[in-house]
Every structure is written in structure tokens, then in C-alpha cells.
Amino acid sequence: MPKANLADRVFLTADSEETPQHVACLATFIIPDDAPGDYVRRLADRLRAQATFASPFNYRLRRVALRKVAPTWQIVPDDQIDIDYHFRHSALPAPGGERELGVLISRLHSRPLDPTRPLWEYHLIEGLDRNRFALYFKVHHALIDGVGGVKRMQQTLTSDPRSDEAPALWTIGPRVRNPRAAANAARGQRIRRAMRATREGALTAAGLAKAAVRLVALAQRNSESDVAVPFVAPQSVINRRIGRQRRVATQLIEFDLVRQIASASGVKINDVFLAACAGGLRRYLHELDALPDKSLTAGTPVNIRIDGDDTTTNAFSMVVVKLGTEIADPLVRLRAIARSNDAAKDELRRLPKTLQKLYPSLFMAPFVGQNLVGIGGRTNPPYNVSISNVPGPLEPKYLAGARMEAMYPLALLYHGVGLFVALFAASGRLGVGFVGDRDGLPHLQRLAVYTGDAMDELADAVGVTARALTR
């Protein structure tokens, strides 16, 4: 029987009605022009027929009642898994635009998984306008993380537009031989490391405390410092206790536009993305009459693979970046963000290498801890908004002849940080997925639209003439 490791335990323990611990990815595909009218239904039938289940898609909690204190998994035989429960064929009402898709995905993403069954759902959604369909894949973070889910979804795709292959996601196991290693590989890789760091962080708390003290001292010495200080984020409508319901919104941005802006302004691509998010947030919060005077801060993962090591271990850390949301001028804001991002990474590099990988625990440990003991959202959050950027393949990918238009990662929320913006680069485009607390953040699609507008503003400011994307 597979044992629940620390990451499983953290995500199962943190599960609550308000903070269900699932992640998801949403992808849209363009149906080939010459496809028959029942293309999606045929695809549904082909997927549904693949009722064999690789790990962890066949893992079930052995005793649901004990999931928070002593979780154990059992492997369910294929013939006892109800494929019609996990695989769902849905449809959008007319006109089947981004609004209707957002409404449906908001509902799907709000709903906790059934803990008595394997913890995943896969939705094939027809009726999307411009001859498209969508996939929404949702999985518990104890089984697989967002990046893992995105990777697994990528494995169902091909670069060949003429191939009509459509392997079902749940049939694809981890690509390793040792079944025990396979089971481990299937689970949360990046975030699991962050969580392991949380535990290890406790053992090296002294080292981290020193880093924290240094950060605070730095910020106090100069209140105009570019270094954002964790837990000194301004309060905002984003940073409250959250409810059970979510809003999901999406935005699609041409990768080439972002590349051009970065090149013209001499900053990194990620800085441009952060600046567009900042511009969108500034306008969105201003309209809600809820824009703080001080800059919002973003918690964002960084790659710290510096020693040529090709393994996936120890390659993830986290920085807090000032978003410059108090700055009106888009270019001034972009430069401020780039400076803050650089400064935060410099600070990170000043840490001993062994501590760099533990750095996320500086934020994560109390953050997760607060949620576990129920005070999340009642104290200072570590930062205002989570923003993550996952690179993917830029060449076009296909599923059964349908070209993937975009893939949007959809993350989870904790009390205290009611907004997660995540980006996935695929097929030459950046798919940006916004997940927000429904009650705290009304009209979230506006934030998505404003983020696209902010990218256009940046393009204007640096003299690039392309547009983010017509939606």
C-alpha cells in the first residue's frame, strides 16, 4: 500500500470547506475544420473507453475519517473505479464565450473532490465558440501538484497535427521503472519540496530567522527600499478570510509581445508579466475603491538551479516582489518591479545555498500553519497575491488533431491570500489563470481583461505596436 508522505499529509490536513486543496489546469483546443459535427462526442467516447488507471489516478484514501491525522492510500482495482464519475462530458450555454466558460469553471473549481473516491476529475467541455472545446483537469494536491498536472496533460498531446491519438490522462503513469519511485514521482514535486523545506525549515529556524531579521532591518533602514518584506504587505480586500466559492478568469497573451517588451525595456520576461499583473490589479482595485496607498507585494517562485545540476531537486525558492501598484506610470512601474525582483534575488543569493532552498518556508510555514490552526486571514499575510510563471513548450501541440490554443493553470487559495495568478507558456502563447475568492473579489474577469490592457499599455510605453490579444 502506498504510504502518505509529508506533502500528502500537509495538503490533506490543510483541506477545509473554504480551502479545498486541489489544483487544476484548463486548456482550450481548436477543432479541425474538416472534423465531423460530433467530433467532441466521439472524443468523449474514446476517452471514456480507456478505463485503465495509472498511479496516482487509482489511489483512494483508505479511511476518509482519518485523512487529516493518519492518511493512508489504497490502490483501487480498475474495475472498481467508476469512470463515468471521474470523466465528465459537459457543455456551455450559448454563446459559449469566455464568460460562459469562466462561469462553469468557477463552479467546478469551487467544489471539493469526493474524498471517498480517487481524488481527480476530468471534464471535456463542448460548445465553446469559434469551433473550440475545453478540458478542465482537477486533482488533489496530495496526489500531484499543478506543475505535475500540467506536465501530465502535456504528455497526452502530440506535435503532429495529423496524428489522431488521444491517450487519456489517467492512463499515463510516471516514466520510471521502480513502482515505489513511480508513486513518489507522481506526487507534488515542486511544492512538495517547498513543504519538505517547511519541515526542514523548522530545524534551521535560526538561520532563517537571521535572514528574516536582515530583511526587516533592510526595509526599516530605508522605507523606500526595493526589497519587499514578507508579512509587511498592506491590507487589502484580497487579504481576508476566504469563502467556499471561487471565481476563475482567464487571459491569453502572445508570447512574442511580452518578449518584445522585455527586450525593448531591458528587463526580464517575468518582470513584464509581473508588471502587467500589477497594472491590472491597480485598475481593478481602484474601481473597487480598494487600492492601498502602499505597493502590493507578490509571492512568486524562482528557479535557483545554479550549479548545472539537471535533477529537479533543490531548484525552487521563492521571493516577495513589490508590484509598484501605487505608481501610475506603466514604465516607471515596470522598472520598479524589475529592481525589486533583482533586489529580492540578490537577497536570496546572499543566503548560504543550503538555506536558499529553505527560503520559501519563511513564508510558507506560518502561512500553512495559520491555515491549519484556523487563524489564517486574521493576521498579516506573507504577501498580497501569489503569482507563478511556469514555462512550457512553445511549439504547437495537438490532441486528436485539435490544436491546443492555450493552457491555464488554476491554483489553490489559503485564508489571507485570496488571489492566485498563474501563467503557463504553451503553443507560443501565455495562458494566464486567475483564481479568486468569490465574495471578496467580484467581477474577476475584469482583472483578466485589465491585465491584458496593462500589457498593451506597456507595449505602447516602450513603442512595441503588437497587441496582447483580441478577446
Which chain residues interact with its own copies by CB under 8 A? 38, 40-41, 44, 82, 84-85, 88-95, 100, 103-104, 107, 111, 114, 116, 126-127, 243-245, 438-439
Task: Report whether 260 contacts 466 (CB < 8 A).
Answer: yes
β-strand partners of 1 = none
By beta-carbon proximity to its own copies, the closer residue of 158 and 245 is 245
Which value, to the nearest 10 degrees, does the dihedral of the CA atoms of residues 14, 20, 23, 26 take?
A: -170
Active site residues: 141
Report in angstroms how near the CB of residue 91 gets to its own copies at its nearest: 4
Report in angstroms how near the CB of residue 24 gets to its own copies at its nearest: 17
By beta-carbon proximity to its own copies, the closer residue of 44 and 327 is 44
Q: Which amino acid is present at 162?
A: R
By beta-carbon proximity to its own copies, the closer residue of 88 and 199 is 88
Which value, to the nearest 10 degrees, does the dihedral of the CA atoms of residues 161, 167, 172, 175 take?
A: -40
By beta-carbon proximity to its own copies, the closer residue of 44 and 358 is 44
Residue 85: count other Cβ atoms within 10 Å of its Cβ.
Answer: 11
Give how far the C-alpha of residue 15 lies from the chain's centroid of Cα atoms, to the nearest Å: 17
Q: What string of DSSP letters covers 145-213?
A: -HHHHHHHHHHT-BS-TT------GGG---S-SSHHHHHHHTS-SHHHHHHHHHHHHHHTHHHHHHHHH
Pairing of strands 132-140, 246-254: unpaired
Report in angstroms how near the CB of residue 88 gets to its own copies at its nearest: 7
User: Grid coordinates in use for 411?
Assistant: 491554483
Residue 289: count other Cβ atoms within 10 Å of its Cβ.
Answer: 7
β-strand partners of 137 = 25, 122
Report in angstroms how near the CB of residue 245 gets to its own copies at its nearest: 7
Q: How far apart are the first and last CA of the chain?
A: 48
User: Grid coordinates in use for 4?
Assistant: 502518505
Report in angstroms how near the CB of residue 89 gets to its own copies at its nearest: 5
Report in angstroms how near the CB of residue 347 gets to its own copies at its nearest: 40
By beta-carbon proximity to its own copies, the closer residue of 108 and 277 is 108
User: Grid coordinates in use for 45?
Assistant: 467516447
By beta-carbon proximity to its own copies, the closer residue of 126 and 347 is 126
